Amino acid sequence: MFQRSLDVAARLLIAVSRSKAGWAAGTAALGFAKSVENMEIGHNVSHGQWDWMNDPEIHSTTWEWDMAAVSAQWKASHNYRHHVFSNVLGEDDDLGFGVMRVTPEQPWQKKHLLQPLQNLFLALTFEWGIALHGVDLRRPRSEWVAQTKALVRKIIRQGAKDYLVWPALSLRRWRRTVGANAIANLLRNLWAYVVIFCGHFPDGTQKFTADILDSETRAEWYLRQMLGAANFRAGRFLGFASGNLCYQIEHHLFPDLPSNRLAEIAHRVRPLCEKYDLPYLTGSLAHQYGSTLRMIHRLALPNAA
């Protein structure tokens, strides 16, 4: 209700405001509404965190979120390939999203010199990277062709909503609405990128080779989840805005646990790490993002001899 009310209020403000300040406020509110829909609602609903309520409106089998990616494709690429094989080279497709070098164990290539620019481009176009990421070219041709067709249909629907329907409803002010929607989508992309990268790529997050899967026990699976993720400190507002992915370690341990419970179990997970002398990576959002940027720029260069 909060997210939808904010979305409507933001669009009304964009449409009726006659000042640049009013338009900017409406655009910022719309960007926040889109971020909440993406992080707190879409991500967590698609993980099945609320399926136990049997509410068809917020069920993982019915939810389709407000961005270019197809929810069903994201669930396959993220819920399975990422969460089951977290940080395993060659198995976890989210490890660098197929374009970034995120560990020295990945062979360096000349193309990695462009990694800082790739990082910036990915941040600006994050929803499109996620959307394309859902098309699995390793599947039989008929399957990935079907995935591509489904993605094209979703992109057409999403584009028509943001850049045809809403502007048309604004009548003579359609240009204001087009600009506001574009900037709101950009703000949502940047925020989602920062949250996701800060949870997976700061210094200290560990990566694993595929042979670990040959003999990994269930207990060792949990250990891999803890070692491969990182948190950032957040109050209630920042936690809500990030979909509680400020608790990425806890989310990887229990991905289908409702997000509003992650803060509670963090008080049990961290002492457990301290008891067994295991790293519990956390810090401010600025520190974690700075650490991520250092990793990205450092690994754009060949390994030191």
Tens of pLDDT, residue by residue over 118-127, are 999 999 999 9
Question: Cα Rg for the chain, rounded, in angstroms?
Answer: 20
Render pLDDT for 160-199 as a digit per residue (tens, 0 to 9): 999 999 999 988 889 999 999 999 999 999 999 999 999 9
What is the predicted pLDDT for the residue at 210?
93
Give the pLDDT confidence of 58-101 residue by residue, as tens digits.
999 999 999 999 999 999 889 999 999 999 998 998 888 878 89
Contact 119, 296 (CB under 8 A): yes
Confidence band of 304 (pLDDT split at 50, 70, 90)? low
pLDDT tens, position by position, 117-162 = 999 999 999 999 999 888 888 888 899 999 999 999 999 999 999 9
Q: pLDDT category, 233, cuts 50, 70, 90?
A: very high
Buried b (16+ CB within 10 A) or exposed e, 206-237: ebbeeebeeeeeeeeeebbbbbbbbbbebeee
Confidence of residue 305 (pLDDT cuts 50, 70, 90): very low
